[in-house]
């Protein structure tokens, strides 16, 4: 299949598919006589897997590892568990940071009762040391 068909089937943009090929995340496509890339049905599964990993905000290097470990189905899945656990920790840390940011922004948003820039307590707070 051509890249446009692969893109439609996997819901991954063609530009992204080319990028994944460039960085070696997916195998280079076979090229036909006119230079068009030709992909196999298994490439759909790989791209869907990558897309779902990216939706979970998993880093490219970790996705590469997750793809590689699938080459040995009898191996331990401890690396997979570790990658997902670390990703969960990162997301939880981000949530804590966002909660603090929300609290700060809420305090700022509710601190200004003035209607003139010259008296805006938000701007004054942001300028203070």
Provide DSSP, 7-61: HHHHT--HHHHHHHHHTTSSPPPEE-TTS-EE--HHHHHHHHHHHHHHHTT--HH
Mark whether 69 and 80 lie in a shared domain.
no
* 76-112 pLDDT, tens digit each: 999 999 999 999 999 999 999 999 999 999 998 888 7
Number of domains the chain is built from: 2
Joined together, the tokens standing for residue 35 give 């230079």
Mark whether 61 and 103 lie in a shared domain.
no
Mark whether 91 and 42 lie in a shared domain.
no
Mark whether 80 and 70 lie in a shared domain.
no
pLDDT category at 118 given cuts 50, 70, 90 is confident
pLDDT score for 45: 96
Q: Which domain holds residue 83?
A: 76-129
Q: Contact 26/50 with Cβ under 8 angstroms?
A: yes
Residue 114 has pLDDT above 80, yes or no: no
* 52-79 pLDDT, tens digit each: 999 999 999 999 999 999 999 999 999 9
pLDDT category at 129 given cuts 50, 70, 90 is confident
For 60, other C-beta atoms within 10 Å of its C-beta total 14
CATH value at residue 45: 1.10.1660.10
pTM reported for the whole predicted model: 0.81
pLDDT score for 1: 92
Mark whether 1 and 55 lie in a shared domain.
yes
Mark whether 97 and 126 lie in a shared domain.
yes
97, burial (CB in 10 Å: exposed 0-12, middle 13-18, buried 19+): exposed
Mark whether 68 and 25 lie in a shared domain.
yes
pLDDT score for 124: 87
Mark whether 18 and 69 lie in a shared domain.
yes
Polymer length in residues for the chain? 129
């Amino acid at each position: 299949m051509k890249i446009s068909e692969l893109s439609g089937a996997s819901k991954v943009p063609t530009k992204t598919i080319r990028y994944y090929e460039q960085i070696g995340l997916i195998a280079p496509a076979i090229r036909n006589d006119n230079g068009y890339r030709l992909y196999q049905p298994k490439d759909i599964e790989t791209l869907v897997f990558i897309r779902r990993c990216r939706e979970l905000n998993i880093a490219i290097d970790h996705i590469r590892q997750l793809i590689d470990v699938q080459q040995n189905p009898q191996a331990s899945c401890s690396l997979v568990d570790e990658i997902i656990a670390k990703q969960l920790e990162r997301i939880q840390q981000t949530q804590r940071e966002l909660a603090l940011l929300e609290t700060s922004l809420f305090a700022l948003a509710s601190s200004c009762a003035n209607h003139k820039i010259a008296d805006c307590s938000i701007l004054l707070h942001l300028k203070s040391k």
